[in-house]
Chains A and B, each alone.
Chain A
Amino acid sequence: MRTLRILFAKELSAILTSPIGYTVAAVFLLVLGYTFSLTLFATKVANLQYIFHQMYVLSILLVPVLTMRSFAEERRSETLELLLTAPVREVSIVLAKYAATLTLVLAMFAGSLVYAAILDRYGEPDWGPIYAGYLALALHASLLVAVGLLMSSLTENQVVAAALSIGTFLMLWFADSVSYLLVPPFDSVAINLSLIGHFKPMVSGSVFLSDIGYYVSASMLALFLTAWGLAQR
Protein backbone atom coordinates (compact mmCIF):
# COMPACT_ATOMS: atom_id res chain seq x y z
CA MET A 1 0.00 0.00 0.00
CA ARG A 2 2.89 2.34 0.81
CA THR A 3 4.41 1.68 -2.61
CA LEU A 4 1.10 2.44 -4.27
CA ARG A 5 0.88 5.74 -2.36
CA ILE A 6 4.45 6.68 -3.34
CA LEU A 7 3.81 5.90 -7.00
CA PHE A 8 0.45 7.69 -6.96
CA ALA A 9 2.09 10.83 -5.57
CA LYS A 10 4.77 10.65 -8.26
CA GLU A 11 2.20 10.23 -11.04
CA LEU A 12 0.03 13.06 -9.75
CA SER A 13 3.03 15.38 -9.52
CA ALA A 14 4.03 14.42 -13.09
CA ILE A 15 0.52 15.33 -14.28
CA LEU A 16 0.40 18.58 -12.33
CA THR A 17 3.82 19.75 -13.51
CA SER A 18 3.01 19.12 -17.15
CA PRO A 19 1.08 21.63 -19.26
CA ILE A 20 -0.88 18.80 -20.90
CA GLY A 21 -3.22 18.28 -17.95
CA TYR A 22 -4.01 21.99 -17.62
CA THR A 23 -4.54 22.39 -21.36
CA VAL A 24 -6.90 19.43 -21.59
CA ALA A 25 -8.86 20.61 -18.53
CA ALA A 26 -9.10 24.15 -19.93
CA VAL A 27 -10.31 22.97 -23.35
CA PHE A 28 -12.78 20.58 -21.72
CA LEU A 29 -14.31 23.21 -19.44
CA LEU A 30 -14.35 25.88 -22.14
CA VAL A 31 -16.24 23.71 -24.62
CA LEU A 32 -18.56 22.50 -21.89
CA GLY A 33 -19.36 26.05 -20.72
CA TYR A 34 -20.08 27.11 -24.27
CA THR A 35 -22.36 24.12 -24.85
CA PHE A 36 -24.16 24.53 -21.53
CA SER A 37 -24.93 28.19 -22.18
CA LEU A 38 -26.19 27.47 -25.69
CA THR A 39 -28.37 24.56 -24.54
CA LEU A 40 -29.83 26.41 -21.60
CA PHE A 41 -30.73 29.48 -23.64
CA ALA A 42 -32.14 27.40 -26.49
CA THR A 43 -34.21 24.88 -24.51
CA LYS A 44 -34.85 26.62 -21.17
CA VAL A 45 -35.04 23.09 -19.68
CA ALA A 46 -33.38 22.38 -16.33
CA ASN A 47 -31.60 19.13 -17.06
CA LEU A 48 -28.03 18.10 -17.77
CA GLN A 49 -28.61 15.20 -20.16
CA TYR A 50 -27.28 17.10 -23.13
CA ILE A 51 -24.23 18.20 -21.16
CA PHE A 52 -23.56 14.62 -20.06
CA HIS A 53 -23.53 13.52 -23.70
CA GLN A 54 -21.12 16.34 -24.47
CA MET A 55 -18.88 15.18 -21.67
CA TYR A 56 -19.08 11.63 -23.00
CA VAL A 57 -17.85 12.73 -26.43
CA LEU A 58 -15.24 15.18 -25.14
CA SER A 59 -13.75 12.60 -22.81
CA ILE A 60 -13.41 10.12 -25.67
CA LEU A 61 -11.36 12.72 -27.52
CA LEU A 62 -9.41 14.15 -24.58
CA VAL A 63 -8.68 11.25 -22.21
CA PRO A 64 -6.25 9.71 -24.75
CA VAL A 65 -4.24 12.94 -24.57
CA LEU A 66 -3.89 12.39 -20.81
CA THR A 67 -3.11 8.68 -20.94
CA MET A 68 -0.87 8.65 -24.02
CA ARG A 69 2.28 9.61 -22.13
CA SER A 70 1.81 7.43 -19.05
CA PHE A 71 3.75 4.39 -20.24
CA ALA A 72 4.89 5.53 -23.69
CA GLU A 73 6.91 8.41 -22.24
CA GLU A 74 8.41 6.23 -19.49
CA ARG A 75 9.40 3.69 -22.11
CA ARG A 76 10.91 6.32 -24.42
CA SER A 77 12.88 8.05 -21.66
CA GLU A 78 13.81 4.65 -20.19
CA THR A 79 12.55 5.59 -16.72
CA LEU A 80 10.34 2.50 -16.96
CA GLU A 81 13.57 0.55 -16.52
CA LEU A 82 14.05 2.28 -13.16
CA LEU A 83 10.54 1.37 -12.04
CA LEU A 84 10.65 -2.22 -13.20
CA THR A 85 14.03 -2.88 -11.58
CA ALA A 86 12.90 -1.44 -8.24
CA PRO A 87 11.21 -3.80 -5.78
CA VAL A 88 7.77 -2.87 -7.05
CA ARG A 89 5.00 -5.02 -8.45
CA GLU A 90 3.79 -4.24 -11.95
CA VAL A 91 0.22 -4.03 -10.71
CA SER A 92 1.20 -1.21 -8.32
CA ILE A 93 2.71 0.78 -11.19
CA VAL A 94 -0.44 0.33 -13.27
CA LEU A 95 -2.86 1.13 -10.44
CA ALA A 96 -0.91 4.27 -9.48
CA LYS A 97 -1.05 5.60 -13.04
CA TYR A 98 -4.73 4.68 -13.31
CA ALA A 99 -5.65 6.34 -10.02
CA ALA A 100 -3.69 9.53 -10.78
CA THR A 101 -5.12 9.98 -14.29
CA LEU A 102 -8.63 9.13 -13.15
CA THR A 103 -8.30 11.72 -10.38
CA LEU A 104 -7.57 14.41 -12.95
CA VAL A 105 -10.46 13.35 -15.22
CA LEU A 106 -12.89 13.27 -12.29
CA ALA A 107 -11.65 16.69 -11.19
CA MET A 108 -12.41 17.96 -14.69
CA PHE A 109 -15.87 16.42 -14.51
CA ALA A 110 -16.36 17.99 -11.08
CA GLY A 111 -15.97 21.37 -12.78
CA SER A 112 -19.35 20.77 -14.40
CA LEU A 113 -21.05 20.61 -10.99
CA VAL A 114 -21.36 24.36 -11.24
CA TYR A 115 -23.97 23.81 -13.99
CA ALA A 116 -25.99 21.60 -11.67
CA ALA A 117 -25.76 24.34 -9.05
CA ILE A 118 -26.97 26.93 -11.61
CA LEU A 119 -29.93 24.72 -12.54
CA ASP A 120 -30.74 24.29 -8.86
CA ARG A 121 -30.54 28.04 -8.29
CA TYR A 122 -32.79 29.05 -11.17
CA GLY A 123 -34.93 25.95 -11.80
CA GLU A 124 -36.17 22.70 -10.38
CA PRO A 125 -34.02 19.95 -11.82
CA ASP A 126 -34.81 16.27 -11.39
CA TRP A 127 -31.83 15.13 -9.34
CA GLY A 128 -32.20 11.39 -10.04
CA PRO A 129 -30.87 11.53 -13.62
CA ILE A 130 -28.17 14.00 -12.54
CA TYR A 131 -26.82 11.64 -9.89
CA ALA A 132 -27.08 8.71 -12.29
CA GLY A 133 -25.39 10.79 -15.01
CA TYR A 134 -22.40 11.54 -12.83
CA LEU A 135 -22.17 7.87 -11.88
CA ALA A 136 -22.21 7.00 -15.60
CA LEU A 137 -19.51 9.58 -16.32
CA ALA A 138 -17.29 8.28 -13.51
CA LEU A 139 -17.61 4.72 -14.81
CA HIS A 140 -17.07 5.92 -18.38
CA ALA A 141 -13.91 7.77 -17.29
CA SER A 142 -12.65 4.69 -15.50
CA LEU A 143 -12.99 2.59 -18.64
CA LEU A 144 -11.40 5.23 -20.88
CA VAL A 145 -8.43 5.71 -18.55
CA ALA A 146 -7.88 1.96 -18.15
CA VAL A 147 -8.00 1.32 -21.91
CA GLY A 148 -5.86 4.41 -22.56
CA LEU A 149 -3.19 3.08 -20.21
CA LEU A 150 -3.30 -0.29 -21.95
CA MET A 151 -2.71 1.38 -25.32
CA SER A 152 0.09 3.52 -23.89
CA SER A 153 1.78 0.40 -22.53
CA LEU A 154 1.99 -1.07 -26.03
CA THR A 155 4.22 1.58 -27.57
CA GLU A 156 6.89 4.18 -26.83
CA ASN A 157 5.30 6.66 -29.21
CA GLN A 158 2.75 8.92 -27.53
CA VAL A 159 0.94 9.81 -30.77
CA VAL A 160 0.54 6.13 -31.63
CA ALA A 161 -0.80 5.51 -28.12
CA ALA A 162 -3.36 8.32 -28.49
CA ALA A 163 -4.41 7.15 -31.96
CA LEU A 164 -4.85 3.56 -30.73
CA SER A 165 -6.95 4.78 -27.80
CA ILE A 166 -9.23 7.01 -29.87
CA GLY A 167 -9.63 4.24 -32.46
CA THR A 168 -10.59 1.74 -29.78
CA PHE A 169 -13.05 4.15 -28.13
CA LEU A 170 -14.74 4.95 -31.45
CA MET A 171 -15.05 1.26 -32.28
CA LEU A 172 -16.56 0.59 -28.86
CA TRP A 173 -18.87 3.57 -29.24
CA PHE A 174 -20.31 2.29 -32.51
CA ALA A 175 -20.07 -1.42 -31.71
CA ASP A 176 -23.86 -1.76 -31.65
CA SER A 177 -24.09 -0.53 -35.27
CA VAL A 178 -22.10 -3.57 -36.36
CA SER A 179 -24.71 -5.85 -34.83
CA TYR A 180 -26.93 -5.42 -37.91
CA LEU A 181 -24.29 -7.18 -39.97
CA LEU A 182 -23.82 -10.09 -37.55
CA VAL A 183 -25.70 -13.29 -36.91
CA PRO A 184 -26.81 -14.41 -33.42
CA PRO A 185 -25.25 -14.62 -30.89
CA PHE A 186 -22.52 -12.31 -32.20
CA ASP A 187 -24.99 -9.47 -32.74
CA SER A 188 -25.80 -9.51 -29.01
CA VAL A 189 -22.11 -9.47 -28.17
CA ALA A 190 -21.62 -6.40 -30.38
CA ILE A 191 -24.60 -4.65 -28.77
CA ASN A 192 -23.32 -5.41 -25.29
CA LEU A 193 -19.87 -4.08 -26.12
CA SER A 194 -21.29 -0.71 -27.10
CA LEU A 195 -20.15 2.20 -24.96
CA ILE A 196 -23.14 4.36 -25.73
CA GLY A 197 -25.52 1.45 -25.14
CA HIS A 198 -24.47 1.33 -21.49
CA PHE A 199 -24.15 5.07 -21.07
CA LYS A 200 -27.53 6.22 -22.40
CA PRO A 201 -29.81 4.45 -19.90
CA MET A 202 -27.81 5.78 -16.95
CA VAL A 203 -27.90 9.43 -17.99
CA SER A 204 -31.66 9.03 -18.39
CA GLY A 205 -31.79 7.98 -14.77
CA SER A 206 -32.06 4.20 -15.25
CA VAL A 207 -29.24 2.54 -13.36
CA PHE A 208 -28.85 -1.16 -14.16
CA LEU A 209 -26.30 -3.44 -12.55
CA SER A 210 -25.52 -4.85 -15.99
CA ASP A 211 -24.33 -1.42 -17.14
CA ILE A 212 -22.22 -0.89 -14.03
CA GLY A 213 -20.84 -4.43 -14.45
CA TYR A 214 -19.85 -3.64 -18.03
CA TYR A 215 -17.79 -0.61 -17.05
CA VAL A 216 -16.22 -2.23 -14.00
CA SER A 217 -15.32 -5.49 -15.74
CA ALA A 218 -13.99 -3.74 -18.87
CA SER A 219 -11.85 -1.42 -16.71
CA MET A 220 -10.50 -4.34 -14.69
CA LEU A 221 -9.75 -6.34 -17.82
CA ALA A 222 -7.81 -3.44 -19.35
CA LEU A 223 -5.83 -2.91 -16.12
CA PHE A 224 -5.10 -6.61 -15.84
CA LEU A 225 -3.89 -6.76 -19.45
CA THR A 226 -1.66 -3.71 -18.87
CA ALA A 227 -0.04 -5.25 -15.79
CA TRP A 228 0.27 -8.63 -17.51
CA GLY A 229 1.88 -6.99 -20.53
CA LEU A 230 4.42 -5.23 -18.31
CA ALA A 231 5.32 -8.54 -16.66
CA GLN A 232 6.05 -10.14 -20.06
CA ARG A 233 9.57 -9.03 -20.67
Chain B
Amino acid sequence: MTISRSDVAPPGALAQRPDAPAISATAVSKHYGRVAALDRLTLDVRAGEVLGLLGPNGSGKTTFMRLLAGYLLPSSGGLAVAGLDVVSESLAVRRRIGYVPESAPLYPHMRVGEFLAFMARLRGLPEREIEAAVGRVVDRLALSAVLDKPTRTLSRGYRQRTALAQALIHDPDILILDEPTNGLDPRQIIEMRELIRSLAGRHTVLMSSHILSEVQKTTDRVALLLNGRLLGVRAIADTPDLEAWFLSLT
Protein backbone atom coordinates (compact mmCIF):
# COMPACT_ATOMS: atom_id res chain seq x y z
CA MET B 1 0.00 0.00 0.00
CA THR B 2 2.95 2.34 0.51
CA ILE B 3 4.59 3.86 -2.48
CA SER B 4 7.97 2.46 -1.55
CA ARG B 5 9.47 -0.46 -3.45
CA SER B 6 9.83 -2.97 -0.68
CA ASP B 7 11.28 -3.62 2.71
CA VAL B 8 14.88 -2.54 2.61
CA ALA B 9 18.05 -2.82 4.61
CA PRO B 10 18.27 -1.45 8.18
CA PRO B 11 19.84 1.94 8.99
CA GLY B 12 23.50 2.13 8.20
CA ALA B 13 23.45 -0.74 5.72
CA LEU B 14 22.79 1.57 2.81
CA ALA B 15 26.00 3.36 1.96
CA GLN B 16 25.70 6.94 0.85
CA ARG B 17 28.04 8.42 -1.75
CA PRO B 18 30.60 10.45 0.22
CA ASP B 19 30.05 13.54 -1.92
CA ALA B 20 26.26 13.22 -2.01
CA PRO B 21 24.29 15.85 -0.13
CA ALA B 22 22.36 14.55 2.84
CA ILE B 23 19.22 16.11 1.43
CA SER B 24 18.72 17.09 -2.17
CA ALA B 25 15.62 18.82 -3.52
CA THR B 26 15.32 19.56 -7.23
CA ALA B 27 12.44 21.75 -8.39
CA VAL B 28 10.12 20.27 -5.77
CA SER B 29 6.55 21.50 -5.79
CA LYS B 30 3.55 20.67 -3.66
CA HIS B 31 0.14 21.83 -4.77
CA TYR B 32 -3.17 21.71 -2.94
CA GLY B 33 -5.59 22.16 -5.80
CA ARG B 34 -4.44 25.38 -7.46
CA VAL B 35 -2.53 26.62 -4.42
CA ALA B 36 1.22 26.01 -4.44
CA ALA B 37 2.43 25.36 -0.89
CA LEU B 38 5.90 24.80 -2.33
CA ASP B 39 6.97 26.09 -5.70
CA ARG B 40 9.93 24.51 -7.57
CA LEU B 41 12.23 24.50 -4.57
CA THR B 42 15.83 23.46 -5.24
CA LEU B 43 18.07 23.04 -2.23
CA ASP B 44 20.94 20.83 -1.03
CA VAL B 45 21.74 20.17 2.62
CA ARG B 46 25.31 19.04 3.25
CA ALA B 47 26.07 16.07 5.44
CA GLY B 48 26.76 17.09 9.04
CA GLU B 49 25.57 20.67 8.82
CA VAL B 50 22.71 22.41 10.58
CA LEU B 51 20.57 24.19 8.02
CA GLY B 52 17.82 26.52 9.09
CA LEU B 53 14.68 27.08 7.09
CA LEU B 54 13.62 30.62 7.79
CA GLY B 55 10.34 32.15 6.78
CA PRO B 56 7.06 33.49 8.07
CA ASN B 57 4.09 31.21 8.81
CA GLY B 58 2.73 29.75 5.58
CA SER B 59 6.01 30.10 3.71
CA GLY B 60 6.28 26.35 3.01
CA LYS B 61 8.74 25.29 5.73
CA THR B 62 6.48 22.64 7.27
CA THR B 63 5.38 21.39 3.85
CA PHE B 64 9.01 20.88 2.82
CA MET B 65 9.77 19.02 6.04
CA ARG B 66 6.69 16.85 5.70
CA LEU B 67 7.75 15.97 2.16
CA LEU B 68 11.19 14.93 3.40
CA ALA B 69 9.71 12.91 6.25
CA GLY B 70 7.39 11.07 3.86
CA TYR B 71 4.20 12.42 5.40
CA LEU B 72 3.34 14.20 2.15
CA LEU B 73 4.14 13.30 -1.43
CA PRO B 74 5.52 15.92 -3.81
CA SER B 75 3.36 17.01 -6.74
CA SER B 76 6.45 17.25 -8.92
CA GLY B 77 10.23 17.45 -8.74
CA GLY B 78 12.92 15.23 -7.25
CA LEU B 79 13.59 14.76 -3.56
CA ALA B 80 16.35 12.56 -2.14
CA VAL B 81 17.45 11.87 1.43
CA ALA B 82 20.80 10.15 1.98
CA GLY B 83 20.83 9.43 -1.74
CA LEU B 84 17.47 7.65 -1.57
CA ASP B 85 14.38 8.81 -3.40
CA VAL B 86 11.69 9.81 -0.91
CA VAL B 87 8.87 8.50 -3.12
CA SER B 88 10.15 5.22 -4.52
CA GLU B 89 12.29 4.35 -1.46
CA SER B 90 10.04 5.82 1.17
CA LEU B 91 10.48 3.14 3.85
CA ALA B 92 14.28 3.27 3.52
CA VAL B 93 14.23 7.05 3.81
CA ARG B 94 12.03 6.91 6.89
CA ARG B 95 14.54 4.57 8.53
CA ARG B 96 17.31 7.13 7.97
CA ILE B 97 15.56 10.16 9.43
CA GLY B 98 14.32 11.35 12.78
CA TYR B 99 11.42 13.76 12.58
CA VAL B 100 9.86 16.07 15.16
CA PRO B 101 6.63 17.71 14.00
CA GLU B 102 5.88 21.25 15.14
CA SER B 103 3.33 20.26 17.78
CA ALA B 104 5.61 17.57 19.28
CA PRO B 105 2.82 14.97 19.33
CA LEU B 106 2.98 12.18 21.92
CA TYR B 107 0.58 9.37 22.80
CA PRO B 108 -1.24 10.56 25.92
CA HIS B 109 -1.99 7.07 27.25
CA MET B 110 1.71 6.16 27.38
CA ARG B 111 4.40 6.95 29.90
CA VAL B 112 7.58 8.59 28.60
CA GLY B 113 9.70 5.43 28.78
CA GLU B 114 6.92 3.36 27.26
CA PHE B 115 6.51 5.88 24.43
CA LEU B 116 10.23 5.88 23.63
CA ALA B 117 10.35 2.07 23.65
CA PHE B 118 7.32 1.98 21.35
CA MET B 119 8.94 4.39 18.90
CA ALA B 120 12.19 2.39 19.04
CA ARG B 121 10.31 -0.81 18.17
CA LEU B 122 8.40 0.98 15.42
CA ARG B 123 11.68 2.17 13.93
CA GLY B 124 12.90 -1.40 13.76
CA LEU B 125 15.38 -1.60 16.65
CA PRO B 126 15.91 -5.19 17.81
CA GLU B 127 14.30 -5.99 21.17
CA ARG B 128 17.68 -6.51 22.89
CA GLU B 129 18.82 -2.98 21.97
CA ILE B 130 15.74 -1.08 23.05
CA GLU B 131 16.54 -0.64 26.73
CA ALA B 132 20.01 0.69 25.91
CA ALA B 133 18.63 2.99 23.20
CA VAL B 134 16.01 4.42 25.57
CA GLY B 135 18.67 4.88 28.27
CA ARG B 136 20.93 6.68 25.82
CA VAL B 137 18.34 9.27 24.74
CA VAL B 138 17.00 9.67 28.28
CA ASP B 139 20.51 10.57 29.46
CA ARG B 140 21.21 12.82 26.52
CA LEU B 141 17.96 14.77 26.89
CA ALA B 142 17.81 14.66 30.69
CA LEU B 143 14.47 12.88 30.79
CA SER B 144 15.11 10.57 33.74
CA ALA B 145 12.94 12.70 36.07
CA VAL B 146 9.87 12.15 33.90
CA LEU B 147 10.57 8.65 32.59
CA ASP B 148 7.62 7.12 34.46
CA LYS B 149 5.24 10.02 33.99
CA PRO B 150 2.33 9.88 31.54
CA THR B 151 3.18 12.03 28.51
CA ARG B 152 -0.08 13.97 28.92
CA THR B 153 1.24 15.47 32.18
CA LEU B 154 4.50 16.82 30.70
CA SER B 155 5.37 20.50 30.51
CA ARG B 156 6.00 22.00 27.07
CA GLY B 157 9.76 21.76 27.57
CA TYR B 158 9.66 18.07 28.47
CA ARG B 159 7.21 17.38 25.64
CA GLN B 160 9.63 18.92 23.17
CA ARG B 161 12.55 16.96 24.63
CA THR B 162 10.59 13.70 24.57
CA ALA B 163 9.64 14.34 20.95
CA LEU B 164 13.30 14.95 20.12
CA ALA B 165 14.26 11.80 22.03
CA GLN B 166 11.94 9.67 19.89
CA ALA B 167 13.53 11.19 16.79
CA LEU B 168 17.01 10.28 18.05
CA ILE B 169 16.15 6.84 19.39
CA HIS B 170 17.39 4.97 16.29
CA ASP B 171 20.44 7.22 15.88
CA PRO B 172 19.38 8.53 12.45
CA ASP B 173 21.70 10.22 9.96
CA ILE B 174 19.31 13.09 9.41
CA LEU B 175 17.15 15.04 11.82
CA ILE B 176 14.22 17.13 10.69
CA LEU B 177 13.00 19.50 13.40
CA ASP B 178 9.96 21.66 12.75
CA GLU B 179 10.09 24.74 14.98
CA PRO B 180 11.97 22.94 17.79
CA THR B 181 11.99 25.96 20.10
CA ASN B 182 8.32 26.74 19.66
CA GLY B 183 6.63 27.45 23.00
CA LEU B 184 9.77 27.00 25.10
CA ASP B 185 10.84 29.44 27.80
CA PRO B 186 14.19 31.28 27.39
CA ARG B 187 16.19 28.75 29.41
CA GLN B 188 14.68 25.86 27.49
CA ILE B 189 15.41 27.64 24.21
CA ILE B 190 19.08 27.94 25.16
CA GLU B 191 19.21 24.27 26.16
CA MET B 192 17.52 23.19 22.93
CA ARG B 193 19.91 25.35 20.90
CA GLU B 194 22.93 23.79 22.60
CA LEU B 195 21.49 20.36 22.05
CA ILE B 196 20.95 20.94 18.34
CA ARG B 197 24.48 22.33 18.00
CA SER B 198 25.84 19.25 19.74
CA LEU B 199 24.11 17.06 17.16
CA ALA B 200 25.85 18.74 14.22
CA GLY B 201 28.61 16.76 12.58
CA ARG B 202 27.36 13.34 13.58
CA HIS B 203 23.87 14.16 12.29
CA THR B 204 22.65 16.41 9.52
CA VAL B 205 20.03 18.72 11.00
CA LEU B 206 17.33 20.57 9.10
CA MET B 207 15.37 22.86 11.38
CA SER B 208 12.74 25.47 10.74
CA SER B 209 12.06 28.69 12.55
CA HIS B 210 10.46 32.03 11.99
CA ILE B 211 12.74 33.69 14.55
CA LEU B 212 15.83 35.30 13.01
CA SER B 213 17.97 35.20 16.14
CA GLU B 214 17.29 31.50 16.68
CA VAL B 215 18.42 30.64 13.18
CA GLN B 216 21.49 32.84 13.52
CA LYS B 217 22.59 31.22 16.78
CA THR B 218 21.83 27.61 15.90
CA THR B 219 22.52 26.96 12.24
CA ASP B 220 25.48 26.86 9.84
CA ARG B 221 23.47 27.98 6.84
CA VAL B 222 20.07 29.52 6.37
CA ALA B 223 17.55 29.13 3.55
CA LEU B 224 14.90 31.82 3.26
CA LEU B 225 11.43 30.80 2.11
CA LEU B 226 8.49 33.00 1.26
CA ASN B 227 5.17 31.94 -0.27
CA GLY B 228 6.54 28.51 -1.08
CA ARG B 229 9.57 29.81 -2.95
CA LEU B 230 13.22 29.74 -1.98
CA LEU B 231 14.53 33.30 -1.97
CA GLY B 232 18.15 32.55 -1.09
CA VAL B 233 20.65 30.46 0.88
CA ARG B 234 23.50 31.97 2.90
CA ALA B 235 26.17 30.75 5.30
CA ILE B 236 25.63 32.29 8.72
CA ALA B 237 29.34 33.06 8.95
CA ASP B 238 29.01 35.21 5.79
CA THR B 239 25.87 36.94 6.99
CA PRO B 240 26.64 39.06 10.05
CA ASP B 241 23.42 41.02 9.59
CA LEU B 242 20.80 38.38 8.98
CA GLU B 243 18.02 40.86 9.57
CA ALA B 244 19.24 43.16 6.78
CA TRP B 245 19.54 40.18 4.42
CA PHE B 246 16.04 39.04 5.35
CA LEU B 247 14.58 42.49 4.80
CA SER B 248 16.40 42.91 1.49
CA LEU B 249 14.78 39.77 0.11
CA THR B 250 11.28 40.03 1.52
Residues of A participating in the B interface, judged by any CB pair closer than 8 Å:
2-3, 6-7, 10, 13-14, 17-18, 77-79, 81-91, 227-228, 230-231, 233
Contact = CB atoms under 8 A, between A and B. Distances in A.
B150 to A, nearest CB: 9
Contact of B71 (A81, A89, A91): A81
A3 B107 contact: no
Contact of A84 (B70, B103, B106): B70
A82 B94 contact: no
Contact of B124 (A18, A84, A87): A87
B101 interface: yes
Nearest to A82: B105
A7 B92 CA distance: 19
Contacts of B101: 78, 81-82
Given A7-B122, A78-B105, A87-B91, 10 more contacts: A2-B121, A18-B109, A79-B105, A81-B101, A82-B119, A86-B94, A87-B95, A91-B1, A228-B1, A231-B1
B64 interface: no
B94 A77 contact: no
Contacts of B124: 87
B121 A77 contact: no
Given A6-B122, A86-B123, A14 B71 contact: no
Contacts of A230: 1
Contacts of A88: 94, 122
Main secondary structure of the interface of A (DSSP, over half): helix
Contacts of A7: 122
Given A13-B109, A78-B101, A89 B166 contact: no
Q: Which of A10, A230, A231 has the most CB of B within 10 A?
A: A10
Interface in B62-117: 66, 69-73, 91-92, 94-95, 97, 99, 101, 103, 105-110
Interface size class of B (residues with CB under 8 A): 20 to 34
B82 to A, nearest CB: 13
Contacts of B73: 233
A87 B123 contact: yes
A76 to B, nearest CB: 10
A85 B1 contact: no
A84 B1 CA distance: 12
B118 interface: yes
Nearest to B90: A87
Contact of A85 (B69, B107, B109, B121): B69
Contact of A3 (B69, B122, B166): B122
B248 interface: no
Contacts of B119: 82, 86
B97 to A, nearest CB: 8
A43 B127 CA distance: 57
A79 B106 contact: yes
A82 B109 contact: no
A77 B159 CA distance: 13
